[in-house]
Structure 1
Amino acid sequence: MTEHVVDHDPNCLFCKIVAGQIPSKLVYQDEEIYAFHDIHPWAPVHFLLIPKVHISSMAHLTDEHAALMGRMMVLAPRLAQEQGCNPYPEGGFRMLCNTGVEGGQEVHHLHIHVMGGPRPWLRG
């Protein structure tokens, strides 16, 4: 493993949330995935989906992460609806994954924003 893919980074905000060292408003968790509400929501529904393993960004994914990322993509619509997003096609949600500094990534632990609900939104 490289420094960008480790089980846990003790200096990472999201690793601390997964470990329970920093509180979060839980949406979902299983053995591999943790989802929690964004503390500064841009939309009526706004939560983050993260892998429990520390992967710095989308740029650090490898073939071994394909199943994990697939599970996250399949889980997102279910959680979006459970959290209050209206169903497709009139409703829906937006998914956003910033990668790297130029891509707007602020926390360097791979995370996917899931946002939805009636517009207008604060941002996005």
Structure 2
Amino acid sequence: MKMKKVQEILEAHIWAGEEDLEGEVYAACGCDLMSDVLAFAKEKVLLLTGLVNPQVIRTAEMLDIRAIVFVRGKEPSKEMIEMANHKGMIILSTQEPLYMACGKLYAAGLMCESED
């Protein structure tokens, strides 16, 4: 799924990476525990989380996750936006809760990160 479609489905605000919204993700991972993200996330995954701190960006970078959506109206700090821009990541935020955001993307055809 193209990130532009993700942004439209979730009515998400774009904080970083607007120029890369034509890029694709093949699965999604909804999680607030970065240890679980480290254990289970795959390549080309979209990370949806309610955790908003620089550690999210660092974790995503370690796993080559290029797109993050913050849920429940959470907004990244200026530091996080700068980190994401420097690392070429897409950062979005949506008013949707994590469960609903994941459900909408799944209903639109985006797989769960554990499906093959």
TM range (shorter): under 0.3
CA radius of gyration, larger in: 1
More helix by share: 2
TM-score (norm 2): 0.25
TM-score (norm 1): 0.24
